[in-house]
Amino acid sequence: MKVAVTAQGRDLASEIDLRFGRAKYLLVVDTETNEFEVCDNTVNLNAAQGAGVQTGMNIANLDVDAVITGNVGPNAFRTLNAADVKIFLAKKCSVQEAIDKMKSGELTAQESANVEGHWV
Amino acid sequence: MTKKNIKIAVASGKGGTGKTTISTNLARAIAKNRRAAQYLDCDVEEPNGHIFLKPEIQKSKAVTIDVPEVDNEKCNGCGRCSDICQYNAIVSLKKVVVTFDQLCHSCGGCKLVCPTSAITDKAKEIGFVDIGVAKEIGFIQGRLNIGDIHTPPLIKEVKKAASSDSVIVIDAPPGTSCPVIEAIKDCDFVVLVTEPTPFGLNDLRLAVGMVRELKLPFAVVINRSDAGDDEVLKYCSKEKIDVALEIRDDIEIAKAYSKGEMIVDVAADYERGFIDLFDYIDKNIQLQEKLI
């Protein structure tokens, strides 16, 4: 399974980025082999609005089955849902720990956004 | 020739300084003593001029904006719509296009670039424009739907509803961002209302920066002028800004306000103050006309 994790750094030891839309990096991890690729998401760091939507679209284009992040707002949720990407929420931990938690079934798929959107 | 349909905006950086008090009383004083006048409540997120003016609303019309509607059957998934959108209001995913009405600025770009004509306009209601009369003055107000964020397009409609044969007094929203810019941008004169406190001065500086950026002629009105310090006066004198009116911190005004009554009805000298304010603005505008 291919999973995108919002991350603050470029490797599996780095902490996950709890912010979805304005996450610095997206680490695309193959959960079978633990191999990963790094995608730069910094272009969204300073987006005036719609960062969640844009990051959601970036993730949809990565052909992943799921995403692990800290929080997800209503627009990002709608985008990911339309792209059939499952959303798992994790608390502060490393990317590797988040992947392990998902594999052991500690994380459950989100049925809705867990935070409010921020309008401009 | 005297310009009849002059537009005066009453703005302020800080909220709660008395924009509505100044604009309603100014409109009434103009209509009673000088020329036909209309009051426009452009503070559409919280319009409250009606509390003082007690208008009779004759018609209300819904205001809509165009947002995209996508026919996913026609869509070929090329993604040009989401590429052109600067506000991330439309995203093209592999099988489907998703739109976000609240992020849309109604530019129509997505519709233009769509090669398969899969995008059409859908009307989305954002609020209402109410038109009526309040005794001797024309009354127009905008009411933004609760939870909506499309403030500038509604303000634009409020201004369009005004007739061109009278003096227009615009009650602007507070702050210095898009809604207030929309309210004041094509006005002939801006009145900046402030109070003599550190907070009033701080936000006045921001508002002065805004009107100077827009190159609009302006003057300051100090409300509750004897309540705080003299820093606002010092600032205005240093910056060569006219203080066109000072209104005392008067218990009688506070009493009238708390009952939703007008200052001009409290005492004749207050009415005189508003007439003088209008004459000052009018003279200023006529002078600019001559210079052009």
Taking CB atoms and an 8 Å cutoff, what residues of chain A touch B102?
Answer: 117, 119
d(CA A84, CA A30): 18
User: What separation in angstroms does the CA of B139 have from each of B33, B44, B59, B248?
Assistant: 17, 14, 11, 27
Token pair 């909220």 in the structure block, residue: B15
Complete domains list, chain B, with CATH: 7-36+165-291 (3.40.50.300), 64-125 (3.30.70.20)
- Asked if B72 has any chain A CB less than 8 Å from its own CB, the reply is no
Q: Which residues of A touch B92 (CB under 8 A)?
A: 57
pLDDT of residue A110: 85
- List the single residue in A53, A60, A75 with the smallest CB-CB distance to B94: A60
A75-98 confidence digits (pLDDT tens): 999 999 999 999 999 999 999 999
Instruction: Classify A40 as helix, strand or coil.
Output: strand
What pLDDT sits at residue B269?
A: 87
Residues of A in contact with B100 (CB under 8 A): 50, 53, 75, 78
Q: Which helix (H) or strand (E) holds B204?
A: helix B198-213
Chain A: closest CA distance from residue B266 (Å): 41
In the predicted model, residues of chain A with pLDDT beneath 70 are: 118-120
Per the listing, tokens 């296009």 go with B97
**Distance (Å, whole) CA B244 – CA B220:** 6
Residue A120 confidence (pLDDT): 46
Q: What is the pLDDT of residue A48?
A: 73
Contact A64, A28 (CB under 8 A): yes
For domain A2-103, the CATH class is: alpha beta
Q: Do B93 and A83 lie within an 8 Å CB cutoff?
A: yes
> How does pLDDT run along chain B (292 residues), one tens digit per residue?
566 689 999 999 899 999 999 999 999 999 999 999 999 999 999 999 999 999 999 999 999 999 999 999 999 999 999 999 999 999 998 879 999 998 999 999 999 999 999 999 999 999 999 999 999 999 999 999 998 989 999 999 999 999 888 999 999 999 999 999 999 999 999 999 999 999 999 999 999 999 999 999 999 999 999 999 999 999 999 999 999 999 999 999 999 999 999 999 887 889 999 999 999 999 999 888 887 6
CA A92 to chain centre: 13
Q: Which of B92, B93, B105, B110 to mutate to test the interface with A (most CBs of A within 10 A)?
A: B93
> What is the longest distance spanned by two Cα atoms in chain B?
70
**Is A50 close to B98, i.e. CB distance below 8 A?**
no
Contact A56 B91 (CB under 8 A): yes
Q: Chain A contact for B102, CB < 8 A? A: yes
CB contacts of A49 in chain B (<8 Å) are: 87-88, 103
What residues have CB less than 8 Å from B160, skipping those under 6 apart?
A: none
CA of A78, closest CA in chain B: separation in Å?
A: 8
CA distance B218 to B184: 11
A62 and chain B in contact, CB less than 8 A: no
Confirm or reject contact between B145 and chain A (CB < 8 A): no
Residue A74's contacts (CB-CB under 8 Å, 6 or more residues apart) are: A113, A116, A117
